[in-house]
Amino acid sequence: MLILGIDPGTATTGYGLVLAEAGKTKAAAFGTIITLPRRSPELRLNEIYNQICELIDSHHPDIMALERLFFSKNETTAFAVGRTSGVVLLAAAQRHLPVVEYTPMEIKQAVVGYGGADKKQVQYMVQRILGLSETPKPDDAADALAVAICHAHSAKLKNL
């Protein structure tokens, strides 16, 4: 199963493709979609949408795993991330790609074994689980890989 993990953000959207087969997971590709702050919000969202479509069209993932929006204090950031999640969901829907969403706590629990893990612990485990020689950079790409790993682990449990 090829899983496209997404860590949505307006300035930087992380993506990670993880191949989960025969109980093993490995990174197929990862990176970020970066938009320029001086561009209008609609152009930034269009750029994210187009690049997500390109990722789906070129890699043909079986499923998309998306970090579910979860904020309690910063409404402006939550609104912007919500917009990004919307265009990501639209790209998946138009390509008939199933989507699952996970909260940050669920992702940390699946990757580290502790829902309160910090960013460094998650990055360390992503590197170890995927057998990478170094921690994936930037952080948004590592977070997207963590989302994909979370789904790989969750899918295994659901199949038991």
Residue 54, domain CATH: 3.30.420.10
Q: What CA–CA distance (Å, rounded) separates 143 from 45?
A: 20
Range of the domain at 106: 2-159
3 state SS of 80: helix
pLDDT by 10s per residue, the chain, length 160: 999 999 999 899 999 999 999 889 999 999 999 999 999 999 999 999 999 999 999 999 999 999 987 655 666 677 778 899 999 999 999 999 999 999 999 999 999 999 889 999 999 999 999 999 999 999 999 999 999 999 999 876 665 4
How many independent structural domains does the chain possess? 1
67 is catalytic: yes
Q: What is the pTM of this model?
A: 0.93
7 is catalytic: yes
Q: Of 7, 47, 101, 118, which residue is the catalytic one?
A: 7
Q: What CA–CA distance (Å, rounded) separates 149 from 58?
A: 20
Omega before 138 within 30 of 0, i.e. cis: yes
